Amino acid sequence: MYSKRFKELFMHPKHAVEIDYTHTAEAVHKEHDDRVRIFLKISDYIVKDASFKASGCPRVIAASEALCRLLINVDVETAMNLNEEHIREEMDFHDKNFECVRTPLIALKKALSEFAER
């Protein structure tokens, strides 16, 4: 069921670390009690670094790692336009029955909304 890429993201996440961040937000997928907090370091409208803390199923952890990999060194507008399909492609996981994959995106959108309000 899980691809080699998915297993790598889940078992060896490189972005599940603490960073000095400028913006953060959390999202919870209540059905399965998955929880993701995204940390972003934004400078000059560029996401310079991203990390996460997550608890829950393997899919939410892999999705959080995939999202962080997609975020590094992209402008805020590009980051805001990332969607579930981008994450699924990065994960090589296309089973749409698992909504928990959206959880890191929800946290990202909250953090970027906070950035836009400043």
Q: Angle CA(107)–CA(95)–CA(10) in degrees, nearest 5? A: 55
Domain that holds residue 110: 4-117
pLDDT, tens digit (0-9, with 9 covering 90-100), for 30-76: 888 999 999 999 999 999 999 999 999 999 999 999 999 999 999 99
Counting other chains too, the contacts that 84-87 makes at CB distance below 8 Å and 24 or more residues apart are 87/63
Tokens of 71: 């975020």
- What CATH number corresponds to the domain at position 75? 3.90.1010.10
pTM (predicted TM-score): 0.95
Provide DSSP, 20-89: --SEEEEEEETTTTEEEEEEEEEETTEEEEEEEEEES-HHHHHHHHHHHHHHTTEEHHHHHT--HHHHHH
User: Which H helix or E strand runs over 85?
Assistant: helix 84-91
Phi (first) and psi of residue 43, to 5 degrees: -140, 130
Q: Taking a C-beta distance cutoff of 8 angstroms, is the pair 85, 108 a contact?
A: no
Q: Which residue has the higher pLDDT, 96 or 49?
A: 49
Measure CA 77 to chain center: 16
Average pLDDT, the chain: 96
**In the chain, how many domains are there?**
1
